[in-house]
Chains A and B, each alone.
Chain A
Amino acid sequence: MEILLVILVGILYAAGIYMMFRRSMVKLLIGLLLLGNGTNILIFLMGDIAKGKPPIIAPNTSVFTDVYADPVPQALILTAIVISFALQAFAIILLKRVYQMTGSDDLDSLNTNDGDI
């Protein structure tokens, strides 16, 4: 299970960075999405996977008696997902606006202000 996730993280990072190098704005966006998901799975992996052991204490006990899943990475991922949701929503709207303004999906056509001014 873990080795599969490790490979998946690798693929997501590689694909994300590859997509970011393309000239198309949409591909850039897909690259950012893939990278974000890769990071989330990486954090999940870092917390050691314990299958079927939620970190919830039974009502009549006060300490854990068994191995349990580390809740911290889950909290981190939840926060990271919400944040990346906001960032990605913003990026999508931004790209849409730029596309409306320039009529082009090509990142290389965005250099009108990089001239000599």
Chain B
Amino acid sequence: MTSNYILAPILVQLVTAILLIFFWQRVTVQRVLSTVGNTFSFITSLILAIDIWNFGTQTLHAGNWQPPFGITFVCDALSATLILLTSIVGLAVGLFSTIGISINRIKYGYFPIFHFLLMGLQGAFLTGDLFNLYVWFEVVIISSFVLITLGGKKMQMEGAIKYVTLNILASTIFLTAIGISYGLTGTLNMADLAQKIALVENRGIVQVTALLFFVAFGIKAAVFPLYFWLPSSYHTPPSAIAAIFGGLLTKLGIYALIRMFTLIFIPDDYTINLFIIIAIMTMFTGAFGMMNKKSIRKVFSYLIVCHIGYLIAGLGLYTEKSLSGTIFYLIHDIIAKSNLFLIAGLIYKIRSSTDMRRLGGLYKDYPLLSILILFVLLSISGVPPLSGFWPKLNIISEALRSGNYTLVFSIIISSFVTLVMIAKVWAEVFWKPTPKDHPEQDDTFAPLSTFKKVTMILPVFLLAFISFMIAMRPGTFMNLSDKIANELMHSDDYIENVFRVKNIQN
């Protein structure tokens, strides 16, 4: 199947961004337009996703060039699912931003950049061309650089330096790896590369290239030795920005890893061992890193690192079942992590602080909201019937089957630490009585009009509802991730889909 429709999510974001630049500095117009654009994006992505789930992979050769020469866009079930998740998170965070982002930031172009970021993400999930993937990555990181520095407080700038440096370094390594793989095979089309890389006789250099890709995407995904930029920068920008970063940017690295290592570089024993070791180290650094942190946003940042470990573990086990676990966890994690940072934003709005020592008594003041937040927190920690539990179960059972008890042990320990920390956050922020030295007038949430309050809580509720749906119907999502994992493990279909489509004759 070939269809122009698969580009719709990208184009909707691009058109929205262009329109928003025309209305530079008009705050109300920006807010309304962005929400309308996000709604459109959600609808188009949903239609695309349903279409792809039902009728299989679609491809598009931009400019009508034959496959290995032009840029190919491929939308398989994984891409479609991630595109849908991106636009859901985009809708929620965009809605939250209309109130949660200060007017000054909106005047400096928050919304156009936000939509360029989303466009970059959609493009990266869609593309079937290695260099094009690099370009989309750059679109994403340049937008994220602007977002992380927007507003220009000292703390933000300090975080931004680490973020910018490491991301530019990762891009350089990525580009180096692309250069070497082009030198080896003479192609950049991922499907073509998958076929030709298998024919390269010098396996050593293929291994090195694969590891270069792993390092590049590993920095972006914040895996073990290269994670430190994340906790020292993600707590500095406003919560809405941190939500989109925490929910989607690290997951872009994971997506690229999954794509690379299922399609092009099929892992051998060495790579698999490396993945498992790195996954275990990532879980432990994330889990133990958050134990002594006092700011809830720092805790949440380490939580991201910790859970990246699970995703890498599922990829590292490299069976269909474990990949399915990774995909399922990815779905759960994108929704829940974005929600987590939105919640941190709400708490900051209510108490003007994210320091656990200065917070308290939220349950007394906002009981219903607290229950909603509790549900999200428990979903994250993977308490049995909730959404974080099912994918973890998949990964653990697969690790048990392959006899990798160290991994099982690490997952259980880090889940336990996560649970303890979440319980601590709940006790400190919600149950503990309000500290004496904390005056009530810091509440910037209560004076807002009801409309604004609803606009801020609605996104949290929306994302929580999706988490709830995952918890209620785990079978549906399990089937979906099984289907995606099946497609990933049988990459012949992907390759065939790219090459089968004939050009439309003039």
Q: A and B: real partners?
A: yes
Determine the interface band of chain A, counting residues with CB < 8 A from chain B.
Answer: 35 or more
CA distance A83 to B182 in the complex (A): 19
Chain A: minimal CB distance from B332 (Å): 29
Q: Is the CB of A113 within 8 A of B236?
A: yes
Chain-A contact segment, one of B173-181, B250-258, B274-282, B338-346: B173-181
CA of A94 to CA of B233 in the docked complex: distance in angstroms?
14
**Cβ of B155 and Cβ of A112 under 8 Å apart?**
yes
Contact of B293 among A25, A73, A76, A116 (CB under 8 A): A116
Find residues 339-371 in chain B having any chain A CB closer than 8 Å to their own CB. Answer: 355
Tell whether, in the assembled complex, residue B158 and residue A113 are in contact, meaning their CB atoms are under 8 Å apart. yes
Q: Is B159 an interface residue (CB 8 A)?
A: yes
| Chain B residue contacts of A94, Cβ below 8 A | 145, 149, 157, 160-161, 164
B164 neighbours in A (Cβ, 8 Å): 90-91, 94
Interface string of A76-94 (1 = CB under 8 A from B): 1001100100110011001
Report A-chain residues with C-beta under 8 Å of the C-beta of B149: 94, 97
The reply to whether the CB of B171 lies closer than 8 angstroms to some CB of chain A is: yes
Q: Are B236 and A28 in touch, CB under 8 angstroms? A: no
The interface on chain B, measured as residues whose beta carbon lies within 8 A of the other chain's beta carbons, has a size of: 40
Minimal Cβ-Cβ distance residue in A for B149: A94
> Across the interface, do A72 and B157 meet the contact criterion of CB distance under 8 Å?
no
Q: Does B473 contact A (CB under 8 A)?
A: no
CA of A4 to CA of B182, assembled, Å = 21
Residue A102 is within 8 A (CB to CB) of chain B in the complex: yes
Q: How far is the CA of A45 from the CA of B179 in the complex (A)?
A: 9
Let me know if B232 is at the binding interface, CB within 8 A: yes
Of A42, A101, A111, which one neighbours B176 at CB under 8 angstroms? A42
Residues of A within 8 A of B179 (CB): 39, 42-43, 46, 73, 76
A97 nearest CB neighbor, chain B only = B157
A79 to B141, CA, bound (A): 16
Q: How far is the CB of B162 from chain A (nearest CB, A)?
A: 8
Q: Are B168 and A91 in contact (CB under 8 A)?
A: yes
How many angstroms between the C-alpha atoms of A116 and B355 in the bound complex? 10
Q: Distance in Å from the Cβ of A12 to the closest Cβ of chain B? A: 11
- What B residues does A86 contact at CB under 8 A? 142
Chain A residues with CB below 8 A from B293, complex form: 116-117
Residue interface bits B216-233, CB-to-A below 8 A is 1, else 0: 000000000000000010
| A98 beta carbon closer than 8 Å to chain B | yes
Which parts of B164-190 form the interface with A (CB within 8 Å)?
A: 164-165, 168-169, 171-172, 175-176, 178-180, 182-183, 188
Q: Which of B152, B157, B236 has the most chain A CB atoms closer than 10 A to its own CB?
A: B157
Closest to B292 in A: A116
**Which residues of A lie under 8 Å from residue B172 when comparing CB positions?**
32, 35-36, 39
Residue contacts A-B, CB under 8 angstroms, 18 given:
A28-B165, A35-B169, A36-B168, A39-B175, A42-B176, A42-B179, A43-B175, A46-B182, A47-B182, A80-B175, A83-B142, A83-B171, A87-B168, A95-B161, A97-B152, A97-B157, A113-B159, A114-B232
17 extra interface residue pairs, beta carbon distance < 8 Å, beyond A94-B157, A113-B159: A32-B165, A32-B168, A72-B188, A76-B179, A83-B135, A83-B138, A83-B171, A87-B145, A90-B146, A91-B165, A97-B157, A102-B158, A107-B161, A110-B161, A112-B158, A113-B155, A113-B232
